[in-house]
């Protein structure tokens, strides 16, 4: 490894680059490839990313994430909606290299989730889906329009049936977990206004 690399960055970073077969400043990638390289660094922080960009004179595309966490959920359509009851502040750089609202924290995780469930009819599926959403209620007709999600299948087990829906299997790899910092959250003004116009009991 040339002295110019060792002289400009800490030895632990230089060793990391050497382990990735990078021996000169010129060999360090730019743009998104630099961000991918940084993602594999064992001890990361937002300050380290800033330092590496300045010290190594490399630029990366800013990745701004608008996470679903904190958004409202329409249980009648089984989907998130764009609005939020919270007023989120400025976007800040997270230790993972992504910009997120300051009230949202990103935690790295390494989890796998899979699902493959089959039901005889839409009523059985809807009942199970409501339970998965944490809703233990009777089956009201208003939920009959639930869209069938991946990993859930509806089909008759009757051997005489000529109609069999395609069965799906869902596998998810969870790399990041987004959490809300409750102490920093504020309710949005739009939500407060909606609460104010609710009829009294």
Region 101-116 average pLDDT = 86
CA distance 102 to 106: 10
92 beta partners? 100
pLDDT exceeds 50 at position 197: yes
Delimit the domains of the chain by residue range.
3-61, 64-112+173-196, 117-168
| Residue range 20-56, pLDDT digits in tens | 888 877 787 776 677 677 667 766 555 566 666 666 6
pLDDT exceeds 90 at position 70: no
CA distance 95 to 198: 41
Task: Specify whether the CB–CB gap between 113 and 172 falls below 8 A.
Answer: yes
CA distance 11 to 70: 41
Quick one: pLDDT band at residue 61, thresholds 50, 70, 90?
low
């Amino acid at each position: 490894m040339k002295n110019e690399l060792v002289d400009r960055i800490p030895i632990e970073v230089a060793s990391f680059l050497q382990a990735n077969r990078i021996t000169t400043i010129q060999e360090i990638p730019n743009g998104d490839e630099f961000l991918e390289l940084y993602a594999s660094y064992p001890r990361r922080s937002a300050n380290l990313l800033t330092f590496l960009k300045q010290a190594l004179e490399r630029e990366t595309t800013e990745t701004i994430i608008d996470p679903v966490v904190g958004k409202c959920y329409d249980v009648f359509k089984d989907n998130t909606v764009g609005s939020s009851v919270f007023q989120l502040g400025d976007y800040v750089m997270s230790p993972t290299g992504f910009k997120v609202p300051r009230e949202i924290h990103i935690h790295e995780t390494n989890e796998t989730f899979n699902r493959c469930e089959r039901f005889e009819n839409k009523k059985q599926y809807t009942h199970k889906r409501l339970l998965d959403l944490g809703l233990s209620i009777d089956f009201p007709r208003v939920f009959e329009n639930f869209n069938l999600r991946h990993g859930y299948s509806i089909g008759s087990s009757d051997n005489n049936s000529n109609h069999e829906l395609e069965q799906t299997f869902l596998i998810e790899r969870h790399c990041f977990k987004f959490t809300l910092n409750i102490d920093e959250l504020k309710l949005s003004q739009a939500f407060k206004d909606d609460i104010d116009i609710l009829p009294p009991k």
